[in-house]
Structure 1
Amino acid sequence: MDIAEVVKQTSIPASRLRYYEELGLITSHSRKGLRRQYAPEVLETIGFIILAQSAGFSLADIKNLLGPATQGKQQLKRDMLANKAAEIDRQVRQLQAIAKSLRHAAVCPASSHFECPSFLKLMRNAMKLGKGAR
């Protein structure tokens, strides 16, 4: 598969594909003239790179996460995936607590939010969650 076809199918600029190759995230198997040629499986790898970045993995983490290919198939490091999922779960809980606090503040009838026992409790809970994130 020509680099132009990979660009067309993924909307990833050729410069980024070359950068991914430089980092060892993807590999071209040959050249046709000056154009890099990729195996069709590169699309799956690029899809995973995009997914992993959206989950918060750095490119260095992704390279480590991919590990060596076995029998032509990429193997992911499951422990890293589980740890990131747990981290995302913690972030979700934090964001839910923040959203609950903001919703309460938006409708709280107290003359001052800082006199409202419910709002003060929500802030204390948010602080506890914040300490766990460090």
Structure 2
Amino acid sequence: MKELDIREVADLSGVLPSTLRFYEKKGLIRPIGRNGLRRQYHENVLNKLQLIALGQAAGFSLDEIAVMFNAEGQVAINRVQLNLRSQEIDRTIRRLQLISQGLKHVARCSKQEHTQCEEFKKIVTRGLRLIK
């Protein structure tokens, strides 16, 4: 078992020491002890920090991420919750792709007034359906 102090974890993960202490308060990570004043962590904390970053990128709150670790700190993922979030992300991607299409069309459209452009009207109509 390799131990890393808080500075090493910060350097290897890119997560600020203050953020590490905050994650500790939220119950997301746990030190295994201290070396002087410096917190010591098991090297597997780096994997946890990657999972936390992935969860945040997926839009989960820290409280939602905390629930994904059991009392022993092991991953206990709710697969239904992950599936629902992935579906939300897929809908967002489709909506953003449509917005991008609309912007590209407007940028190259030769019509003076875009609201008179039939292709633009189709894009806007499809976009409105996705928003609802």
Could you state the TM-score of these two structures normalised by the residue count of structure 2? 0.90
TM-aligned CA deviation for residue 106 of structure 1: 1.3
Asked if 1 retains the 8 angstrom alpha-carbon contact of 2:56 and 2:62, the reply is yes
> Which of structure 1's runs of 4+ aligned residues deviate more than 6 A?
none
| Residue number in structure 2 paired with 1:56 | 59
CA contact (8 A) 1:67 1:77 kept: no
Aligned residues: 129
Structure 2 residues without counterparts, runs of 5 or longer: none
Partner of 2:126: 125
Matches within 5 A, 1:1-134: 1-64=4-67, 66-68=68-70, 73-131=74-132
Question: Contact 2:58/2:85 (CA < 8 Å) preserved in 1?
Answer: yes
Q: Which moved more, 1:105-114 or 1:83-92?
A: 105-114
Say whether the 8 Å CA contact 1:69–1:75 is kept in structure 2. Answer: no
Could you report, residue by residue, the CA deviation over 1:13-64 in whole angstroms, capped at 9, with x for unpaired residues? 1111000000000011111221111111100000111111111111112112
| More divergent stretch after superposition (74-83 vs 19-28) | 74-83
Partners of 1:74 and 1:39 lie apart in 2 by: 15
Q: Distance in 1 between the 2:112 and 2:98 partners?
A: 22
Change beyond 3 A, Cα 1:69–1:76: farther
- 8 Å Cα contact 2:28/2:69 also seen in 1: no
Identity %: 40
Letter in 1 for 2:84: N
Write the distance in 1 (CA, Å) between the matches of 2:74 and 2:62. 20
Amino acid at match of 1:89: D
Counterparts of 1:8 and 1:120 in 2: how far apart (Å)? 51
**Secondary structure of the corresponding residue to residue 34 of structure 2:** strand
Structure 1: give runs of 5+ residues left out of the alignment. none
Kept in 2, the 8 Å contact 1:30–1:38? The answer is: yes
What is the distance in 2 between the residues matched to 1:67 and 1:44? 12
